Amino acid sequence: MAVSRIPGQTAPARAATAGPGGGGRWIWLVPPALILLTSIPITTGALRLTQLSGGPAIMPEAARFTEFPLPVIAHIVAGVVFGVVGAFQFVPALRRGRRSWHRAAGYVLIPAGFVVALSALWMATFSDLPPGDGPALLVVRWIFGGFMVVTLALAVRALVQRRYAVHGAWMTRAYALGVAAGTQAFALIPGSLIYGSDDQTSRVVAMTAAWLVNLAVAELVIRRRRRARA
């Protein structure tokens, strides 16, 4: 719901007029939408955990983690926490006050983000490549995994410096990178139908595009926040 600017009205007053959280009632639709997106990798992760714990071999590609399952277990658990808890960080009403949900959740969210990124880098480097992956996609995984570590580190630095807007911007980018697996699930469909699920070129294009799309959306969110504060 758009709110027209009233001459002399301050930004906080405009935010209050917009509805709960300063973003209108629609803002409460954001967490369910993000959780729905992350439900795809969460489901895949649950199937992997089931198989690694001795369950049926539902996902043959998960066998590459059998010898040393700790990184993939950490990645899945941290990914669930990062995706679900992080979804609610986009509701302005939950960011108010010194004892806000946002502040408390951050103590869980930031460590979970580091675990997600570092475990992803570990698996990309030391685990066997799954069918359809190749050297190009491996490099792409290193780039975006490394960038996620950088975004989280810059978010922590900004928080220590009490530059909260900068902190929020870097955390938004980190979240976009961390939940890209959901976007990738959709991006991989066309290439899989046309070229097959093991085609390396279509996979690297689709997965790279998904990361870039998520980052583009993150930049739009960050820009919107800046305009709201102006």
Average pLDDT over residues 143-149: 98
pLDDT at 162 (0 to 100): 94
Greater confidence (178 vs 7) lies with: 178
Query: With a threshold of 0.85, does the pTM exceed it?
Result: no
Query: How far is the C-alpha of 10 from the C-alpha of 49, rounded, in Å?
Result: 51
Task: Write the pLDDT tens digit of every residue in 99-120.
Answer: 677 888 999 999 999 999 999 9
Mean pLDDT of 14-19: 38
For the chain, percent of residues with pLDDT exceeding 90: 51
**Alpha-carbon gap, residue 129 to 127, rounded angstroms:** 6
pLDDT at residue 165, as a whole number: 93
Q: Where are the domains of the chain?
A: 19-229
Cα 141 from Cα 121, distance rounded (Å)? 7
- In terms of Cβ atoms closer than 10 Å to its own Cβ (0-12, 13-18, 19+), residue 174 is buried
Average pLDDT over residues 58-69: 71
What is the reported pLDDT for 60?
65
Q: What is the pLDDT of residue 55?
A: 67
The one-letter code for the residue type at 162 is R
